[in-house]
Amino acid sequence: MAKERVLIVGGDAAGMSAAGQIRKLLPDAEITVYERSGYSSYSACGIPYFIAGLVEPETRLVVRTPEEFLQKQNIVVKVRHEVLSLDPDGGTVLVRDLESGREFRDSWDRLLIATGASPAVPPVEGAKAEGIFTLSTLETGIAARRYVDKFRPRHAVVIGGGYIGLEMAEAFACVRGMKVTLLDKSPQVMNTFDADMAELIASAIRGIGTALRLGEGLVGFGTEGGRIRSVITEHGEIETEMVIMGLGVRPNSGLAGDAGLKLSVRDSIFADETMATSRPGIWAAGDCASTTHLMTGKPFWVALGTVANKMGRVAGISMGGGRAAFPGVYGTAMSKHCGLEVARTGLTEREAEENGFRSVSSVIRTKTRAGYYPGAETMHVKLVGEEGSGRLLGGQIVGGQGSAKRVDIIATALAGGMTVNNLLELDLGYAPPFSMAWDPVQIAGRELLKKTGGE
Amino acid sequence: MAKERVLIVGGDAAGMSAAGQIRKLLPDAEITVYERSGYSSYSACGIPYFIAGLVEPETRLVVRTPEEFLQKQNIVVKVRHEVLSLDPDGGTVLVRDLESGREFRDSWDRLLIATGASPAVPPVEGAKAEGIFTLSTLETGIAARRYVDKFRPRHAVVIGGGYIGLEMAEAFACVRGMKVTLLDKSPQVMNTFDADMAELIASAIRGIGTALRLGEGLVGFGTEGGRIRSVITEHGEIETEMVIMGLGVRPNSGLAGDAGLKLSVRDSIFADETMATSRPGIWAAGDCASTTHLMTGKPFWVALGTVANKMGRVAGISMGGGRAAFPGVYGTAMSKHCGLEVARTGLTEREAEENGFRSVSSVIRTKTRAGYYPGAETMHVKLVGEEGSGRLLGGQIVGGQGSAKRVDIIATALAGGMTVNNLLELDLGYAPPFSMAWDPVQIAGRELLKKTGGE
């Protein structure tokens, strides 16, 4: 009997998590991974910190090299190999070796599409100028870092006030000591937060010294000798020496879509709980794949390393014949901007309304530790709950050190279908260096209970 | 109609939390609190940090003074007033004014017993010597602090390797720069942890420079001119200038027991979910009251500030005619020793066995943050689960900064009745400064799944 052939398109978090699981379940299978970039299994989330200079060298971001995959797990990872198309009926892919230019076909018994996501690039003039970076791959991160080291820019414009924008503004302003302008056409930063919490983030960003220009759209770039010279906005021109585009990402679903696989929300590749696509024998996982939002029950798409790892594990177990499920997400995400930690999970007030929930909310301001304990910092918690039932719908946190990871309490409570009363009953950890006697999340719960009904 | 008279015996966390709730629900009631010490509503958990000198002055530990309670909430707090006995049939208490020595009777319509707990003092010679401290009240903390400031001891012996012991050893060794010997007759520190996790704590304590003497019982004290000179153990004599006794506490249930109220485990005052005692019209809350261990379903007693606050809130709502429940605890607790964070919840492996669970466990060692991110520290997680069902039974954490509060994920999962598989499905927060892509708790869950059945 011929050995089972497993092909994986994309050798980052989802693809390589899957490969590891498949190897455990199918010890004899031939597992080949095609990866377009020059690196396998690296932490894309670490790129801002590499650019900042907090992480050296870039190879520290690589979890495992192709050589290690081959030696330790007998997994063949071919980097700089791009899959150009796939033929589901024939069970083959067309691959281009990006070094030699040679194209060839390869066949699969089981296929995983883990092609990730790519940054959105607005079709404006000058977007290809030297000094403008979108951070999609480790290579683009290395290029940005080299540019910083070479030109030592004193000022950068970060376009987009989302997670990448916040982290790059931190890298430049708080680590590199550069002046930063953060530009967003939206009236608030962090659109996955409610406006009231976003305003807390915005004022902290301003307080740290970053110029925040909200409600101001990008028009184009001024260049000089092919290099960036300014960012042109709806309201004027900002002279700068470097630009980071953090305008969000889109699922790399072209390959799947062209092959007739069903697409889902925002053109992500449809995948069920086992990460199976609409086509038998083909799975999808990671930033290219759809999932379910567990509060709304609706199809959902999010590009996050932790989700990609979990999807990859489940896809690998499924492909290996095991049983595992990735039921969906609550939209948990977190980030850091200098001393400020931000996190969110579940539904914001706005999202709750959009999804037809009768929601109420509480916002509290308290301390990360016992107020008398050194290093206690301000922390805001917003909780959203359902009126009447008292069911928790989501939470948002903005605060100093120790704030953000408390979102896990809320995320776990959401997964448990808990009410505000259940939240208050939780036996959470307390000691003065870590918390108030009531955890801040529970303090917010006590306020919320007054609105959902109770105390 | 005469005003409702509410009496509260004990003016710390539980008593004053209750008082606040009662005031909201019964705006016209006369609320009087008798507190034996000179302070109301202070953070007993903060005493080690005050002795360390991290908190100044001691009044920062006081949440609210009697004057503030009177002004803001019309609650009369009589400090230095000890309740000597209570007469449930007559509805009266006998009170002594500790300043004047005057004794008087006071009557109640509703009574809360929130008398707290007292440190165990072994009946050994010399235990009353100057320089030996048990930390029960803010006054004893102040006395210990004055002693340190006055005599500047270079060495202290801490007796008892539990939470107080760890925190006092930290205060002396890591903040005050003193030499410390930590003595415990048990073969391990932190008896609420399994031996394997306790050994990690012990080796960290030793690494920090504290001399750890385990399996060595206290015999007595050597004194000179009424002042401590040495600690005499089963194995020898340790010269020292100061001793802290951290041998655990016992519920102050004498008043209740003498009045015929039902007692529960470890002589704590029996209280149901609403914190009602066996006697109508009398409630109990805080360190003196019993609760339920929610993993075993058995009566349980624990003296912790966070539990006292929650019990006090529920007692107050109940006494005010509202509806609230304190169903019980999972035994969540945490502490810090210099750079080391420790936390636990639910059942240890030993406790699981003692309670008849067929348990399996996993211990993993990983990092608090992405491995490449500056400041990532080692973190160990132990999870205990039920064989077959895969239900989570408990968890223990020992590690660097950011470790301990992760116990909340486990505590919340326990409250949700989650299995190991549920734990792996949790949508926890991730960003490189805060976590690995899989949270350490989930990494431990993946290991545990191999034993409970699965992957």
Size of chain A, expressed as the number of residues it contains = 455
**How far is B281 from chain A, CA to nearest CA, in Å?**
20
Domain segments of chain A: what residues? Answer: 5-117+250-319, 121-247, 342-452
CB neighbour list of residue B254: distance below 8 Å, 6 or more residues apart:
none
User: Which positions 374-413 of A are in contact with B (Cβ < 8 Å)?
Assistant: 374, 402, 404-409, 411-413
Flag whether residue B343 sits within 8 Å of chain A, measured between CB atoms: yes
CB within 8 Å of B223: residues ≥ 6 apart: B126, B129, B229
Listed by number, the residues of chain B in 43-62 with a beta carbon closer than 8 Å to a beta carbon of chain A are: 43, 45-46, 49, 54-55, 60-61
Closest partner residue to B429 (CB to CB) among A370, A408, A437 is A408
List, in sequence order, the alpha helices (H) in B62-213: 66-73, 138-151, 163-170, 195-208
CA angle A311, A313, A316 (to 5 degrees): 105
Q: Do A411 and B404 touch (CB under 8 A)?
A: no
Q: Distance between CA atoms of A88 and A95, rounded to whole angstroms?
A: 14
Asked if pLDDT for residue B209 goes beyond 90, the answer is no
Measured between CB atoms, which of A322, A411, A428 is closest to B455?
A322
Q: Do A43 and B427 touch (CB under 8 A)?
A: no
For residue B185, give the DSSP letter: S
Active site residues of A: 45
Answer yes or no: do B455 and A310 touch at CB < 8 A. no
* CA nearest neighbour of A420 among A365, A350, A359: A359
Residue A206's identity, in one-letter code, is: R
Asked if B355 has any chain A CB less than 8 Å from its own CB, the reply is no
Which amino acid is residue B207, in one-letter code? G
* Element (DSSP H or E) covering residue A15: helix A13-25
Burial of B326 (0-12, 13-18, 19+ CB in 10 A): buried
Pick from A412, A315, A250, A12: nearest CA to B424 = A412
Q: From CA A300, how far away is CA A297, in angstroms rounded?
A: 9
For A429, the closest of B294, B334, B432 (CB atoms) is: B334
Contact B416 A412 (CB under 8 A): yes
For the domain B5-117+250-319, what is the CATH code?
3.50.50.60
The Cβ-side half-sphere exposure at A98, using a 13 Å CA radius, reads 12
| Single-letter residue type at A427 | D
Do B346 and B353 meet the contact criterion of CB atoms below 8 Å apart? no
Three-state DSSP class for residue A71: helix
> Nearest CA of chain A to the CA of B437: how many Å?
5
**B121-247 classified as CATH 1.10.1040.10:** no
Which residues of B are less than 8 Å from A304 in CB distance? 430
Calpha distance B115→B83 (Å, rounded): 9
Instruction: State whether A402 and B404 contact (CB < 8 Å).
Output: no
* Cβ <8 Å between A49 and B310: no
Residues of chain B contacting residue A431, judged by C-beta atoms under 8 Å apart: 45, 163, 167, 333-336, 404
Residues B250-288: tens digit of each pLDDT: 999 999 999 999 999 999 999 999 999 999 999 999 999
B455 confidence band (pLDDT: 50, 70, 90): very low
A-chain residues near B331 (CB < 8 A): 427
pLDDT at residue A455, as a whole number: 46
Condensed to tens digits (0 to 9), the pLDDT of residues B346-402 reads: 999 999 999 999 999 999 999 999 999 999 999 999 999 999 999 999 999 999 999
Minimal C-alpha gap between B273 and chain A (Å): 11
Structure tokens at B197: 């996790």
pLDDT tens string B397-449: 999 999 999 999 999 999 999 999 999 999 999 999 999 999 999 999 999 99
Residue of chain B whose alpha carbon sits nearest to that of A441: B408
Contact B322 A455 (CB under 8 A): yes
d(CA B249, CA B252): 9
User: Quick one: tokens of B205?
Assistant: 């304590």
- Is A334 at the interface with chain B, CB within 8 A? yes
Fold matches, B5-117+250-319 and B121-247? yes
Q: Which helix (H) or strand (E) holds B363?
A: strand B359-367
CA gap B136, B334 in Å, rounded:
19
B129 touching A (Cβ < 8 Å): no
pLDDT surpassing 90 at residue B298 = yes
- What does the block give as tokens for A347? 């539904």
Burial environment of residue B435 by CB neighbours within 10 A (0 to 12, 13 to 18, 19 or more): buried
Looking at chain B, which residue has its C-alpha nearest residue A47? B432
Spell out where B185-303 has E strands.
Answer: 211-214, 218-224, 227-233, 236-239, 243-245, 249-251, 282-284, 291-292, 299-300
Give the residue-averaged pLDDT of B288-296.
Answer: 98
Determine, for residues A310 and B438 on separate chains, whether the beta-carbon distance falls below 8 Å. yes
Residue in A309, A405, A415 closest to B422 by CB: A415
Q: Is B45 a catalytic residue?
A: yes
Measured in angstroms, the CA of B236 and the nearest CA of chain A are apart by 34
In A, which residues are within 8 Å of B455 by CB distance?
21, 317, 322, 324
What is the DSSP pairing of strand A30-35 with strand A5-9? parallel
- pLDDT for res A1: 60
**How far is the C-alpha of B117 from the C-alpha of B253, rounded, in Å?**
8
Contact B437 A309 (CB under 8 A): yes
Q: Which of B304, B326, B418 sits opposite A416 (nearest CB)?
A: B418
SS (H, E, C) B368-382: CCCCCCCCCCEEEEE
By Cβ distance, the residue of B60, B332, B437 closest to A429 is B332
- Do B428 and A46 count as a contact with CB atoms less than 8 A apart? no
Mutation site, A60, A138, A163, A412, interface B, largest B CB count within 10 A: A412
Closest chain B residue to A423 measured between Cα atoms? B412
A175 and chain B in contact, CB less than 8 A: no
Residue A178 phi, psi dihedral angles, 5° rounding: -90, 165
B342-452: CATH number: 3.30.390.30
Q: What is the pLDDT of residue A427?
A: 98
Low-confidence ranges of chain A (pLDDT < 70): 1, 454-455
- CB of B275 within 8 Å of any CB in chain A? no
What is the chain B residue with the closest CA to A344?
Answer: B429
CB A233 within 8 A of CB A183: yes
Q: Around Cβ B177, how many Cβ atoms within 10 Å? A: 9
Return the half-sphere exposure (C-beta side, CA atoms, 13 A cut-off) of residue B53. Answer: 12
Q: Which of A13, A46, A432 sits opposite B432 (nearest CB)?
A: A46
Contacts of B46 in chain A (CB under 8 A): 370, 372-373, 432
Of B325, B408, B433, the CB nearest to A409: B408
Q: Measured between CB atoms, does A76 come within 8 Å of chain B?
A: no
- Crossing angle (nearest 10°) for helices B13-25 and B305-319: 30
